[in-house]
Amino acid sequence: MRVSKAPQRAYQICSRCVMDTSDPWIVFDCQGRCNHCTDFLERRLSVTAYSTTDKIPSNSDGPEHLWSSIPRNRGLHDVVVGVSGGVDSTSVALLAQKAGLRVLAVHLDNGWDTPIALQNVLQLASLPGITYEAEVLNWNRFKAVQRAFIAAGVPDIELPTDIAIQAALHRAAVRHGIRTILSGGNIANEGILPVCWMYNPRDSLYAESILHKAGLPPSFYAPLKFGFRQELRCRLKHRIRTLYPLNQIRFSKDNARQHLSSAIGWQSYGGKHCESTYTRFCQLIYQPRRHGIDYRRSHLSADICLHQVTRSQALDVLARPAWNDLDVDYDVAFVARKLDFSADQLQTAMASPPCWYIDFPNRQSLLGAAYNSFRILTGRRKASNF
């Protein structure tokens, strides 16, 4: 019976936001407020437009100063944007296009696309000034990697996709000689996210040890890999940088949904990140069942800090199970079949003791130091989790 090295905690929930001991490393102050909302309010928001009371451009215009800082390329495209069909990436692509930038929209096909997401990508791909490219992962190999992560028992079963996206975007940037990647990532929605819920995708040692435990060779990870060394090479040799335009406006997902719908016929699908069947499975079924993690806590806590929702309203939302509107049996059957599990095998895996990133070899302290040094040297502030 596998025992994780994660700390065993008595249940406690933050008195200010709704993060709780489903992050086993959560720290509470004497007033019961957690490190997540404290860090969010005191440090994370400082890189966003929420930190100032200056006039902020509206959702639909985007940050002028940001666009003017992006070099126009001699090649065919000025920026690379990773597009999933979701509201964040679609917003970024559209803002860039509207600002007159020539956009290379790259979609990572990891075998889990949903029809609505694909329709949204098609709408985007049809716009002038946007060129579409697809990077299709080798499914037979990728599913082996996903199986390995489920077998490992860790919550970050989405890590292979997340890192594959980074690898694909940087490859596209290098291939086309583009120096700017625009990310739909934004602190307002993702600024509260425990490291243990989604460990650093850049830590190749972690991912490779999980694959090694499952008996997979490193070659299975190679096409997905984007580690610190690769990132350094992209930044220093190819001078590629990633910008986060949505941090420069007071990005509201609800407003964005409405705007995208009327501008390009964008369609919503309900639920966060459900442009991918696997993401839906991960956040609404797998993580709750195996680790007691309710992913909604993270963005609800950010919403509380930004006064977009009250703590009481957030608790009401959390009172309804994340999987309430799903046909759980169908989703589990589909995911199982895709990953070559029987439904029973997948259920058994989900009922097995949870593990966390610390149960596997990783370079957390080394990478933390490396990234901190990098920030000190370049004067950048920490804009993401790593």
Partner 1 sequence: MLQPRLIPVLLVDGQLQLVKTTGFSERHYLGDPLNAAYVFSAFEVDELLVLDIDASTQGRSIPLPFVAALARFTSVPLTVGGGITSLEQIHDLLALGVEKVALSAVLSRSFSFLQQAADRFGSSTISVIVNVRSLGEGPALAWFGRPDAAGAGPGQPLAQLVLASQQAGAGEVVIQAADRDGQRHGYPVAMLAELNRELTIPLVALGGCGSHGHMAELLQATPISGVAAGSLFVYAPGTHQVLLHYPPSHHWLQQHLPALQECWRCV
Between residues 342 and 373, which has the closer beta carbon with respect to partner 1?
Answer: 342
Handedness of CA 383, 360, 111, 255 (dihedral sign): negative
CB of 269 to partner 1, least distance (A): 11
Whole-number Å distance between alpha carbons of 130 and 336: 36
Is 107 an interacting residue with respect to partner 1 (CB under 8 A)? Answer: yes
Closest CB to partner 1 among residues 133, 162: 133
Q: Residues 143, 111: contact at Cβ < 8 Å?
A: yes
Q: How far is the CB of 133 from partner 1 (least distance, A)?
A: 5
Nearest CB to partner 1, comparing residues 18 and 117: 117
Nearer Cβ to partner 1 (345/385): 345
Q: Using the rule CB under 8 A, which residue among 337, 375, 380, 381 binds partner 1?
A: 337
Cβ atoms of 283 and 322 within 8 Å: the answer is yes
The distance of closest approach from Cβ of residue 121 to partner 1 in the complex, given in angstroms and rounded to an integer, is: 6
Q: E strand or H helix at 121, and its extent?
A: helix 115-125
115 makes contact with partner 1 (CB under 8 A)? yes
Residue 138 vs 372, nearer CB to partner 1:
138
Specify the stretch interacting with partner 1 by CB under 8 A; choose among 24-32, 47-55, 138-146, 213-221.
138-146
Q: Rounded to whole angstroms, how far apart are CA atoms 45 and 34?
A: 16
User: Looking at beta carbons only, is 277 or 345 nearer to partner 1?
Assistant: 277
Is residue 338 at the binding interface for partner 1, with CB under 8 A as the rule?
Answer: yes
| Residue of 356, 377, 287 whose CA lies nearest to 323 | 287
Query: C-alpha distances in angstroms, 102 versus 70, 89, 233?
Result: 11, 15, 24
Nearest to 357 by CA among 61, 23, 72: 23
Of 116, 114, 85, which Cα lies nearest the Cα of 105? Answer: 85
The answer to the question of residue 222 lying near partner 1 (CB under 8 A) is: no
Among 33, 60, 98, 139, binds partner 1 (CB under 8 A): 139
Would you say 6 or 125 has its CB closer to partner 1? 125
Q: Which residues contact 337 (CB under 8 A, 6 or more apart)?
A: none
Number of shown-chain residues binding partner 1 (CB under 8 A)? 27
Could you say which of 34, 121, 168, 309 contacts partner 1 (CB under 8 A)?
Answer: 121
Question: Is residue 134 a contact residue for partner 1 (CB under 8 A)?
Answer: yes
> 82: part of which helix (H) or strand (E)?
strand 79-82
Half-sphere exposure of 22 (CA within 13 A, CB side): 19
Which residues are near partner 1 by CB under 8 A?
A: 107, 109, 111-115, 118-119, 121-122, 125-126, 132-134, 136-140, 143, 277, 333-334, 337-338
